[in-house]
Amino acid sequence: MITEFTPIPAILGGALIGASAVALMAFNGRIAGLTGILSGAMLPGAGGRGWRLAFLAGAILAPALMWLALGAPVPFASDLPAWAVILSGLLVGVGVTYGGGCTSGHGVCGIARLSPRSIAATVVFMAFSGATVFVVRHVLGVA
């Protein structure tokens, strides 16, 4: 599990996420909510499939390009069993549906636009994220 303090990669990654959100809004007039982009790319008849697929391809290919540039893979590992990862993904999907957006749509783009709905949604999912980490690590002793 990755828990090291890595401020430079975190700052650079945050800057790239922000730059991609600004570029998508500036050039396409769209908010970079990844769940909406993904669902729009998968749904038949959804408009703008081309830009959605290009955005997702960039999100997938960027780690591969970093691997080539740096000569080392981007570390990604989970100590959790596959069923826990799948269950977590399904729970996130439910939360995204009821919350009307994902962390990128609300947390990155919505807060930048000073949207009260996005600020409230971000406060709620951050609180539940913290509570989940506390329960998993300190109550259940899993990770």
Whether residue 64 is predicted with pLDDT greater than 90 in this model: the reply is no
C-alpha closest to that of 127 among 99, 93, 100: 99
Q: How many separate domains does the chain show?
A: 1
The token pair that represents 53 in the structure block = 């697929």
Does any domain span residue 2?
A: no
Residue 122 host element (H or E): helix 116-134
Instruction: Quick: pLDDT tens for 32-57.
Output: 888 888 888 888 777 788 889 998 99
> Residue range 89-102: average pLDDT?
84
The token pair that represents 3 in the structure block = 């828990």
Does any domain span residue 71?
A: yes
Distance between CA atoms of 48 and 63, rounded to whole angstroms?
A: 25
Distance between CA atoms of 96 and 106, rounded to whole angstroms?
A: 10
Q: Read off the pTM.
A: 0.72
Structural domain span for residue 27? 7-139
Instruction: Quick: pLDDT tens for 121-138.
Output: 999 989 988 998 899 889
Does any domain span residue 15?
A: yes
Whether residue 80 is predicted with pLDDT greater than 60 in this model: the reply is yes
Instruction: Quick: pLDDT tens for 102-114.
Output: 888 888 888 988 9
